[in-house]
């Protein structure tokens, strides 16, 4: 399923440590391990386009896994 979501990038210590995107509505998405360069920055506000990966499980399990296809920094 393809989505576009705006939120803030956060690092989580769950599992072995992972990155998440927390939307303005409070939804948490776990960022897939192959994130584009420049995305994984604590507190970065972004608009992300990507796919929810229902075929992937993680040790953190903090939310749906989001495979980011593209992003832009927002203010």
Q: What is the residue range of 27's domain?
A: 2-73
pLDDT attached to residue 66: 98
Q: In this structure, what CATH number is given to the domain that contains residue 14?
A: 2.40.50.140
- pLDDT above 90 (res 16): no
| Predicted TM-score of the model (pTM) | 0.92
Instruction: Say if residues 65 and 17 touch (Cβ distance below 8 Å).
Output: no
Whose CA is closest to 4, among 23, 20, 17, 19?
23
Residues 29-69: pLDDT tens digits? 999 999 999 999 999 999 999 999 999 999 899 999 999 99
Q: Span 4-24, mean pLDDT?
A: 94
Total number of domains in the chain: 1
Tell me if residue 51 falls in helix, strand or coil. Answer: strand
Q: pLDDT band at 15, cuts 50/70/90? A: confident
SS3 8: strand
Name the token pair of 6.
Answer: 């705006």
Q: What angle do CA 49, 13, 33 make, to 5 degrees?
A: 35
């Amino acid at each position: 399923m393809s989505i576009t979501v705006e939120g803030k990038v956060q690092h989580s210590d769950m599992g072995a440590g992972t990155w998440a995107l927390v939307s303005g509505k409070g939804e948490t998405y776990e960022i897939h391990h192959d994130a584009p360069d420049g995305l994984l920055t604590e507190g970065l506000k972004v608009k992300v386009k990507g796919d929810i990966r229902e075929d992937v499980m993680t040790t953190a399990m903090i939310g749906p896994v989001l495979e980011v296809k593209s992003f832009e920094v927002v203010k």
